[in-house]
Chain A
Amino acid sequence: MELLSGADMIARFLKDEGVEYIYGYPGGAALHIYDALFRQDDVKHILVRHEQAATHAADGYARASGKPGTVLVTSGPGATNAVTGIATAYMDSIPMVVLCGQVASHLIGEDAFQETDIIGVTRPIVKHSFSIRHPSEIPMVLKKAYYLAASGRPGPVVVDIPKDMTAPTERYEYVYPKKVKLRSYNPVTRGHTGQIKKAVELMLKARRPVFYTGGGVITGNACEGLADLVQRLGYPITTTLMGIGAYPQSDRQSLGWLGMHGSYESNMAMHHADLIVAIGARFDDRVTNNTSKFCPTAKIVHVDIDPSSISKTVRADVPIVGPAGSVINEMISLVQGREPANPEALAEWWEKIDGWREERRGKLYEPAEASEPLKPQQVIETVCRLTRGEAFVTTDVGQHQMFAAQYYKFDKPHRFITSGGLGTMGFGFPAAMGIKQSYPDDDVVCITGEGSFQMMMQELSTCKQFGIGVKIVNLNNGSLGMVRQWQDLNYKSRHAHSYMESLPDFQKLIEAYGFTAIKVERHEDLEPALERAFADKTELVFLDIYVDPREHVYPMQVPLGAMRDMLLSKTERT
């Protein structure tokens, strides 16, 4: 039996829980905890330069590793700065525990210095939150926090810790809780067998089936099972932005990803399907377009671990509440030894799909002449080729994000790391930091734009301090590209505040932090610059690549239309 202060309990618990990294920033209310971290070597603390970056870094780590990320911030502004990152993790169901310092219990409610009701502020954007009311509760509350964050449909959990709970003079017994039970929380461990049978019957009878899978397949470690099931049946598969990599994109059955800027063939296939098998996806508005025109001839099987995701926006014909992995395995065992009932119809279906593929082959974008500015698409294709499609790719939000998703081809899960639900500019660079720490031997590339990068560029300093060698590919078009695209399409090219005047000289800026920056303007400089950047995995290199500001992202679904209603270029539409 051991007596520890609350602060020491936190440090010890993190070690016992197997936490490797904490991303954080100190401040008054968290100082007892920081002192406890100082007196141990097991858990590494990464000091960021802004609390939002701490949450994104922990988030990136969680997305790449599948383990919960850990954040430590102080009360008041420390905690409120973390809010955007918490919301980002919430929208994408990322496991994360955020430990927030709080003013001492006797000061709560008195508008004390650096006091914020962070439990109240974060209530709509957390899976759950706790307030510590006695130091002896700390081990069990933290255990619950990690359990809740990582189980079921994962999400961020906030733990508010008043300063007096961590006082060094107050010591209590510490035992690491091996088990945790919450009477009101029992995530499902398997789907309803009757429903799964019904789904499999529909799948075998289908004439124009499509698998539509999301981030839940990656979170649920169900990618191998998914590939097995999809290949046994020989059906086409499209994924959401969050589901990229769950199924190898280089495989013939993969149609790429779907939705607003998804591939032509995946949106066409969805629209014409007679059966959609959705697994771990949530029929988000960026996927469905107008739900009243969504897939008019399709029956829908919807597998999700979260019952509230089912029939939320689109009614499911066969709802299955359960984890992707076990449901997929049950489907495989039911499919085993059986063949789809309509091989001719399926052959026709594939002919149609291959036809859609052919229609757009070689027309996705117009390559630039050597005298013209580089196209962002060709930059991404080159990055993909030079990293053999194996890098961890993080993005910020906007055109570059869509180009990265479209032109980098992923065959593995956990590699494309992007803020899908919240669409948080500033996410990419700190997320890349969090990944690189845990995967030092891999290429970690942040594909960004000059708008997004400036939202979190202070983290260059963190990379300096901790020797974090990420590569930053800045697609510099001197404007907020996606905003500008919408203004071109919907506001007669009135570019209200979508330009970036007075951009910094990125080369000098990066050099001020002691890193290498390479400016790329000419076509022939692109490949050598990238080769130079990827030569050394330990070195941070910033590539400032000037790309065509007039470029738009296509395909683009037409507002209020069906999935098949798309603009295909500045002059073509379906």
Chain B
Amino acid sequence: MRHIISILMENEPGALSRVVGLFSQRNFNIESLNVAPTEDETLSRLTVTTVGDDRVIEQITKHLNKLIDVVKLVDLTEGNHIERELMLVKVKALGTQRDEVKRTADIFRAQVVDVTPSVYTVQITGDAGKLDAFLQAMAAIGVLEVARTGVSGISRGDKVLGL
């Protein structure tokens, strides 16, 4: 099953490599990974999506917790949560394609953020499924380049991942 694990860790050099290294060292799987500082500049938040059965996920969270740089973590998929990913896509946009791209973008509530005579750059946010669907819809027109951030997530309600 797919899990989204959100990790608060020390904003220190080398902390990220310890997390990533752990996954390769112990043969765990990373589907996507995204990391940035938080409102507290001493902390980074890292979100990793991974796949595994309960035993594997238990080992992943235990080993992550063991890393000295990891302060706290939560498996978002254990409860209600919001997950989002941002994607920038360059698509071919010539002649009638220009309308077609714009229409499809509107349907997905995506925005065209850059325009040239032959190319549109579209920005879209949503869960991974929505982004995949958009890419599929664009495939026939011609996708030139894709940049995805990987999943970021947060739990619903009052629950907070903090110190």
Q: How far is the CA of A183 from the CA of B25 in the complex (A)?
A: 25
Docked complex Cα distance between A50 and B25 (Å): 28
Q: How many residues of A contact B (CB 8 A)?
A: 19
Question: A123: CB under 8 A from chain B?
Answer: yes
**Interface residues in A480-520 (C-beta closer than 8 Å to B):** none
Contacts of A311 in B (CB 8 A): 55, 58
Q: Does B103 contact A (CB under 8 A)?
A: no
Which stretch of A124-132, A208-216, A354-362 is in the interface?
A124-132
Task: Type the 1/0 row for A299-331, where 1 means its CB is closer than 8 Å to any CB of B.
Answer: 000000011100110010000000000000000
Residues in chain A near residue B79, CB distance under 8 A:
none
Contacts A184-B70, A184-B71; is A123 near B62 (CB within 8 Å)?
Answer: no
Q: What separation, in Å, do the CA atoms of A119 and B62 have in the docked complex?
A: 23
Residue of B nearest to A306 (CB): B66
- Chain A, residues 1-35, CB within 8 Å of chain B (1/0): the string is 00000000000000000000000000000000000
**Closest A residue to B70 using CB positions:** A184
How far apart are A96's CB and chain B's nearest CB, in angstroms?
A: 16
Cross-chain pair count, CB within 8 angstroms:
37
Decide yes or no whether B18 CB sits under 8 A from chain A: yes
In the complex, how many angstroms separate the beta carbon of B19 from the nearest chain A beta carbon?
11
Cβ-based interface call for A120 (8 A): yes
Which residues of the other chain, A, contact B107 by a CB distance below 8 angstroms?
A: none
Specify the chain B residue showing the minimal Cβ separation from A129. Answer: B14
The answer to the question of B36 belonging to the interface, with a C-beta cut-off of 8 Å to chain A, is no
Determine if B70 and A123 form an interchain contact, defined as CB atoms under 8 angstroms apart.
no
B68 contacts A by Cβ under 8 Å? yes
**Of B13, B21, B25, B68, which is within 8 A of A127 by CB?**
B68
Q: Is the CB of A308 within 8 A of B63?
A: yes
Judging by beta carbons under 8 Å apart, are A184 and B63 in contact? no
CB < 8 Å neighbour of A308 from B25, B66, B70: B66
Let me know if A148 is at the binding interface, CB within 8 A.
yes
CB distance from A471 to the nearest CB of B (A): 39
Q: Does B85 contact A (CB under 8 A)?
A: no
Of A119, A184, A311, chain B has the most CB atoms within 10 Å of the CB of A184
Interface membership of chain A positions 118-160, coded 1 if the CB is closer than 8 angstroms to chain B and 0 otherwise: 0110011001110100000000000000001000000000000
| B55 partner residues in chain A, CB cutoff 8 A | 311, 315
Tell me the complex Cα distance, A123–B58, Å: 22
Q: Is the CB of B17 within 8 A of A123?
A: yes
Q: Interface digits, A272-312 against B, CB 8 Å rule (1 contact, 0 not)?
A: 00000000000000000000000000000000001110011
Q: Is the CB of A307 within 8 A of B68?
A: no
A312 & B68 in contact (Cβ 8 Å cutoff) = no
Within 8 Å CB of A129, what residues of B? 14
Q: Which residues of B contact A307 (CB under 8 A)?
A: 62, 65-66
8 Å CB interface, B65-83 against A = 65-66, 68-72
- B140, CB-defined interface residue at 8 Å: no
A443-466 vs B: 1/0 string, CB under 8 Å? 000000000000000000000000
* Contact between A312 and B59, CB atoms less than 8 A apart: yes
B163 within 8 A of A: yes
Cβ contact within 8 Å between B14 and A182: no
Q: Contact at A184–B58, with CB atoms within 8 Å?
A: no
Q: How far is the CB of A39 from chain B (nearest CB, A)?
A: 32
**Further pairs besides A185-B68, A308-B62: 15, Cβ < 8 Å:** A123-B18, A123-B21, A124-B25, A127-B68, A129-B14, A131-B13, A148-B68, A184-B68, A184-B69, A307-B62, A308-B59, A308-B65, A308-B66, A311-B55, A312-B59
A residues in contact (CB < 8 Å) with B: 119-120, 123-124, 127-129, 131, 148, 182-185, 306-308, 311-312, 315
20 contacts between A and B (CB under 8 A): A123-B17, A123-B18, A123-B21, A124-B21, A128-B68, A131-B13, A148-B68, A183-B71, A183-B163, A184-B9, A184-B68, A184-B70, A184-B71, A185-B68, A307-B66, A308-B59, A308-B63, A308-B65, A311-B58, A315-B55
B binding-site residues for A, Cβ under 8 Å:
9-10, 13-14, 17-18, 21, 25, 55, 58-59, 62-63, 65-66, 68-72, 163
